[in-house]
Amino acid sequence: MTYGNEDFVPIILGTNVNTYNVARSLHEAFGVRSLALGRFPLRETAHSRIVDVRTYRDFDSPDVVVRTLLDLAEELPGRRRLLIPNIELYATILLERRAELEGHFLIPLVDAGLARRLMNKSSFAQICADLGVPHPATVVVTPQTPRDATLGADLPFAYPVVVKPADTDTYPRLRFEGKQKVYVVADAAELRSVADRVYEAGYEDDLVVQELIPGDETVMRVANAYSDRSGRMRVLSIGQVALAEWDPRWAGNYNAILTIDDEELAGSIRRLLDGLGYRGPANLDVMYDRRDGTSKILELNLRLGACSFYTMAAGANLARCFVDDLVHERELPELTTRDERLWVNLPYPAALAFIPRSLRARVRAAARHGVWHTLYYRADRSRARLLDVARIDLRHTLDYLRYARTRLNR
Beta-carbon count within 10 A of 238 CB: 27
CA distance 258 to 240: 5
Q: pLDDT, tens digit, for every residue of 239-282?
A: 999 999 887 766 678 999 999 999 999 999 999 999 999 999 99
What pLDDT band is residue 172 in, cutting at 50, 70 and 90? confident
CA distance 175 to 162: 20
Average pLDDT score over residue span 396-408: 81
What pLDDT score was predicted for residue 404?
81
Say which CATH topology domain 217-407 has.
D-amino Acid Aminotransferase; Chain A, domain 1 (3.30.470)
184: helix, strand or coil: strand
Asked if 382 and 47 touch (Cβ cutoff 8 Å), the reply is yes
Q: pLDDT, tens digit, for every residue of 61-76?
A: 999 999 999 999 999 9
User: Mean pLDDT score of the chain, rounded to an integer?
Assistant: 94
Q: pLDDT, tens digit, for every residue of 71-125?
A: 999 999 999 999 999 988 899 999 999 999 999 999 999 999 999 899 887 889 8
Q: pLDDT, tens digit, for every residue of 292-325?
A: 999 999 989 999 988 999 999 999 999 999 999 9
Say which CATH topology domain 8-107 has.
Rossmann fold (3.40.50)
Of 313, 380, 394, the C-alpha closest to 346 is 394
pTM (2 d.p.): 0.90
Encode burial over 284-293: b for 16+ CB neighbours within 10 A, e otherwise.
bbbbbbeeee
Q: Write the single-letter amino acid at 76.
A: L
Question: 137-211 has which CATH code?
Answer: 3.30.1490
Domain boundaries of the chain, sorted by first residue: 8-107, 137-211, 217-407
